[in-house]
Chain A
Amino acid sequence: MVSASSTTSSPLSATIVEPTIFDLSSRGRVGVRMPESDVPAAEPPPQHLLRPELPLPELAEVDVVRHYMRLSKFNYSVDGGFYPLGSCTMKYNPKINEDVCRLPGFLFTHPLQPIETVQGNLALMYQLQEWLKEIAGFAAVTLQPAAGAHGEFTGVLMMRAYHKSRGDDKRVKMLIPDAAHGTNPASVGMMGMTVVTIPSDERGNVDLKALEAACDDTVVGMMLTNPNTLGLFDENIEKVIALVHGCGGLMYGDGANLNALLGIVRPGDLGFDVMHFNLHKTFAVPHGGGGPGVGPVGVAARLADFLPEPLVGILEEGDEDKDMPPLYGYMKPAKSIGRMKAFHGHFGGGFVRSFTYIAMHGPDGLKDIAQYAVLNANYLQARLRDTYHIPFDRICMHEFVAEGQFEGSDVRALDISKRLMDYNFHPPTNYFPLIVHEALMIEPTETENKDTLDAFAETMIKIAEEAKTNSAIVKSAPNNTQFGRMDEVKAARELVLCCWLPENYDLSA
């Protein structure tokens, strides 16, 4: 169980650091002047269909800019500093990607335009499908899913459809390791399947005996994150996959940790049948404060017919001699599970950025990413090993998990995380994976230099010292930030989810 959150009693009236956009409203202010109508006036709609009033705030442009600028300063960000949030791959987001994804040809194309007018978009999508296939070793890729969890849902739907298409209706069990992300079981839950949890062994690998015992002809498949959430590559991966395949199950790969594998190994070569990519982790789509994500899914040949529709394909081959490009268009896989979302997926915010990122790295550059991500994680692990207990201590991949507790100190992982804020670092992931007590999951990524890693390691060592000598300062952290710990119980019990214009606000025109 996690330690109790702060339960400060709330004062009668809270101090307001930054008013809401509704608080700032002043009657009659205008933010954008729209043009007058240039057409003859139409008959208005029937009165009974009209809205009597529109309770939106009224601000001038400068009010809006200053408000959101002030808010932006309350955020910690990758552009601002080190963000070693495990399993989230908070790497630097190249600025050129921001420019190219905003080219007018991308911004202002409608998803239902005739294909002849969007050949640039379709060529880019086709190429990205091909590159992702090559990078991860799959036969086909859909770009449509909107996020990792959405990709997982897509994958599990395809696994279900595959078994059904073979008349194999008794498969209802999904095998999921205890270290898995919560989205794995939740995706399975949405499908009415049952989850069978597989424990990890003492080296952090899937427990082969438990797996073998669970494998039978009711298994849909297994969902495995590899490297897993301990940051470890499963040393028995080929045996794990053979066991699952042996009972007729399919192997799902959670691609959350693909950053460690670029140019190192292709999940498809290992025998994974389906895997989602997180373009917002591995391929530098910015996280945007919680989305949008981008979650393409790659599949082995036997699942290709089940992909969501539409895919982008070549309708007519081009002719290089005549400098004629192919004609790209949409294709529907023969046994498609259907549509996962409207239109084609997160094109502008996702595909264009990742396409650019892959193109600017090439095969060697991609391998560099994985190698340096893994080097940075191992370097930090080595620097912290003597201070923090590493429960599964071996060469890690792109991240590792340390325990945030010390003998004789009441300081917990959460306190260490909060104390890191005082030193201007973003904390690691807390309390995950669930199989480690007081977990601190640290993923530095490849875009951090040695000075930053050293400074972080020294700060972690200093906090460990404070935990033993001056634990109060750790327990009360953050002490130097604009905001202190939040009363989460008050938020949940009183449940204020919206604000409004003041009660007496005059809404008349």
Chain B
Amino acid sequence: MNTPSNLKYAKSDEWFDPATGKVGISDYAQNQLSDIVFIEIFVEEGETIEAGKAIASVESVKASSEIYSPASGKVAAVNKDLANKPETINTDPFGEAWMIQLEGASAGDVMDAAAYEKHCEERAH
């Protein structure tokens, strides 16, 4: 499991990059969902959102999940390409598969990489 230490993580498995304001889902989450076949991002550029708001829905071959924003802020960019290649969420969850980018963002209820790794381990049992 890959858990970059520069990112913050929500309990519900989203990551937030304080440096760039980007948001996506973790390697743990994509692995749990398995082969992702669909993503729909609900929020639009220019919208101001609160942490905890549902921003997207992903479906894999056998599971489905809502994605909640781990941070508050103004949506500066939406990764529109992702809908055409949802499989990149499996292959590059922290890179190419970012979902939205926030401007003037403040993190919601998030933890650091070490705490998140522990959180994931606990759930595996």
**Chain A interfacial positions (CB closer than 8 Å to B):** 1-2, 4-5, 7, 488-489, 492-493
Q: B1 contacts the other chain (Cβ, under 8 Å)?
A: no
- Give the size range of B's interface with the partner: under 10
Q: Chain B: residues with CB nearer than 8 A to chain A?
A: 32, 34-35, 37-38, 61-63, 87
- Which residues of chain A have C-beta atoms less than 8 A from B35's C-beta? 4-5, 7, 488-489, 492-493
Question: Of B37, B62, B63, which one neighbours A493 at CB under 8 angstroms?
Answer: B37
Question: Is B61 a contact of A492 with CB atoms below 8 Å?
Answer: yes
Query: Chain B residues with Cβ under 8 A from A4's Cβ?
Result: 34-35
**Number of cross-chain contacts by CB at 8 Å:** 24
Q: Which residues of B contact A489 (CB under 8 A)?
A: 35, 37, 61
Is there contact, CB below 8 Å, between A1 and B37?
Answer: no
| Residue of chain B at shortest CB distance from A431 | B62
User: Is B37 touching A492 in the complex (CB atoms < 8 A)?
Assistant: yes
Complexed CA–CA distance, A2 and B32 (Å): 9
Complex: how many Å from CA A104 to CA B121? Answer: 65
List 13 contacting pairs A-B, 8 Å CB cutoff, sorted by A: A1-B34, A1-B63, A2-B62, A4-B34, A5-B35, A5-B62, A488-B35, A489-B37, A492-B37, A492-B38, A493-B35, A493-B37, A493-B87
Q: Nearest 3 A-B pairs (CB), nearest first?
A: A492-B37, A489-B35, A488-B61
Q: Please, which residues of chain B bring their CB within 8 A of the CB of A492?
A: 35, 37-38, 61
Contact residues of A: prevailing secondary structure: loop
A1→B13 CA distance, assembly (Å): 15
Query: Is there contact, CB below 8 Å, between B32 and A5?
Result: no
Q: Looking across the interface, which residue of chain B has its beta carbon closest to that of A1? A: B32
- The CA of A4 and the CA of B35, in the complex, are separated in Å by 8
**What chain B residues lie within 8 Å of A488 (beta carbons)?**
35, 61-62
Chain A residues near B62 (CB-CB < 8 A): 2, 5, 488
Q: In the bound complex, what is the Cα–Cα distance between A328 and B62 (angstroms)? A: 49
Give CA–CA (A262, B63) in the complex, Å: 36
Whole-angstrom distance between the alpha carbons of A402 and B20 in the complex? 49
Give Cα distance in the complex from A2 to B87, angstroms: 19
Which chain A residues lie closer than 8 Å to B87 at the CB level? 493
Instruction: Report the separation of the CA atoms of residues A7 and B36 in the bound assembly, to the nearest whole angstrom.
Output: 13
- Measured CB to CB, the closest approach of chain B to A436, in angstroms, equals 16
By a CB distance below 8 angstroms, the chain A residues around B34 are 1, 4-5
New A-B contacts (9) at CB < 8 Å, excluding given A2-B62, A4-B34, A5-B35: A1-B32, A1-B34, A5-B61, A5-B62, A488-B62, A489-B61, A492-B35, A492-B37, A493-B35
Chain B residue with minimal CB distance to A2?
A: B62
Residues on B with C-beta less than 8 A from A2 are 62
Name the CB-closest residue of A to B59. A492
CB distance from A202 to the nearest CB of B (A): 18
CB distance from A69 to the nearest CB of B (A): 32
A428 to chain B minimum Cβ distance, whole angstroms, is 18
A256 to B10, CA, bound (A): 39
Return the chain A residue nearest B34 by Cβ: A4
CA distance A4 to B62 in the complex (A): 9
Distance of A490 from chain B, by nearest CB (Å): 10
Residue of B nearest to A495 (CB): B37
> Closest approach, in angstroms, between the C-beta of B58 and any C-beta of chain A?
12
